[in-house]
Chains A and B, each alone.
Chain A
């Protein structure tokens, strides 16, 4: 039996096509994935992302423990409400998961990790906790999460949720504020402005209805995937996993090397890889032909072969885009070949993101 979020009945009522995602019955789309994609780029859409795992870390010494657990440095979190994107690594420098760390107070941090990695993440966090004497993690299964994204998203949230403008009106990106039992964070996975709202399961259906009344339309996981791909945001399990390091995944910017004496898990392996030269990198691909790049397709270049990790049609650009892991010698401006259905297609290597705030970055 699959898990269902507090909003499942509303999705069915709204005509969602439900699919299994990491053991959860989730909406893929509510009619048209492409229309939902455009809606988020041009106006506002909302996603039920309650399947994501919220873990609270409370008690003494949480910051010390997080300094070791994640590759980015939680010492960047100085004011209450700050959020940090980071990877959690194994000793080989491979990515166990990517996550957001929220800081509320010295004895309360919150992690939001992926649904598909829930069990191994919780196991890893507990084990590392025990080894380093940190506070024990509490999974918050009582919480739902709604991402409201798009150029008008914030205004519509202010209209829908009483008191939200007062606490969240001045929030900068990657900051969060609490409103009673709600956490409102100016974060997202679409490349648009907006909020991610963490709230009790019991308050989720009412809030969803209020957002609908404020003109926010629901969008499914299908649109979420094309939006994040256009925004050049990695998907765990596709673009990186335990056998790839952040340096091979275009996530070098999330690794905090300073101070040198912060010996986070995986640091040694990353230092070795960096010194030896990172062999592979994640690049963007653009295909102007009438075909769609797909995950696991081979990429051929003069520097050697690589593989597409995420690929789809970009509704904003009107052609296909992809992320691909290729030999380090491949760089932006190069052409690569992608064989599909017995034909070689020529794709251009580009820097990503492809789209940000509704506009092409190409």
Chain B
């Protein structure tokens, strides 16, 4: 059966590291920096939360900021893919986010509350599909659209389904969008869970002490291309009912989802030549992820493992696509990002992170994602002739 191709045709990206690919690639070759304190002021709450905000989109106008950055990354992706206006109507939109436009609902309620006492929250007709509808309208996308809200795996799942709907011949082009911008519920919610650190995130390190939240918007156009183009070669998603907020520390559920992805792709773990870990630098999740990877690679050499959250923070629903784009672009530019001095000691959890930018071997690359509610996703990427 001739397979319809879902190649990575063009990407757009904005993170704490900057806007556009060149800025990301340059920053990924330097040491990650600590987060900045951001004031969270709502009601009578004044909390200072460490964050990695978007580099080029100041917090000045909350009402326009989300749309502005989304439009920016989508235009970048479409331009990189060389898709002219006429083709846009056939595009299907896949959004993955944990907060969608809640930042706007918060802002309008907070604002209304200062001018009248009877203000009610979310007067602005909240709906998970609203952001997608607005994006579709602005770009004229008329294909079937999907909004994924599965916490930290949202845009990874969006990409997985987009690729498979193309492969199954249901759609031809998909625009996958991962987006996460600062909002009070997320910032104060994570703060309240005691999961945040004020220093650089240190995944798989003895000194790991929590995560840093990050903002990101990223877009990737999928569609027919050439054998030399990167694409998704396999993936899997499984529900781990061990605990709401952490994967099973024995690694069994992490190993299960990676094994399922390998089975879907029809490849052996020995074909994997580099790994992008989820690496949230929390005590339990890193333990579970390390144990899961060691189970998969027991009896063989663990390929180089990198973690990208020290650079951009945990971008939650956007991390699936954003980290995939960073990893793919770094690989295509000949390096696996290194976190010097972070996760260096493999006696802590049995694995260590890449310490000096390494040259990637040809092959297939694994990406792990784990989210609240036991939602675990593993993706495999590579060129069409990598199999």
The judgment on whether A and B are partners is no
Residues of A whose CB lies within 8 Å of any CB of B are none
Residues of B whose CB lies within 8 Å of any CB of A are none
